Amino acid sequence: ACVLFKGVLCGSKEKKEVINYYEQVLRYKTTIKTAAKMLEQGIISEKEFAEFEQEIAEKYGIKSDSLFRNIAG
């Protein structure tokens, strides 16, 4: 049997959910990386970055306690 991780079988509904979550994380990280560059260049302020990060995290379903959150930029 094909196992993705911790008992999640390949082709299962759970696998699709895991893949979808990682796609969301990738989108979140890509967007935040762009915003961090804007912050470094002085285009946006730290306050604007923090507000934007919160909005993007909510949009992509990244919880505040997630290891994937990039609170500091």
Q: Do 29 and 12 touch, CB atoms closer than 8 A?
A: no
| pLDDT at residue 22, rounded to an integer | 86
Residue 49 in this model has a pLDDT that exceeds 70: yes
Residue 71 in this model has a pLDDT that exceeds 70: no
Strand, helix or coil for residue 9: strand
pLDDT in tens, 1-48: 455 555 555 556 666 677 788 899 999 999 999 999 999 999 999 999
| pLDDT at residue 1, rounded to an integer | 47
Residue 73 in this model has a pLDDT that exceeds 50: no
* Whole-number Å distance between alpha carbons of 1 and 4: 10
* Whole-number Å distance between alpha carbons of 27 and 46: 21
Paired strand residues for 3: 9
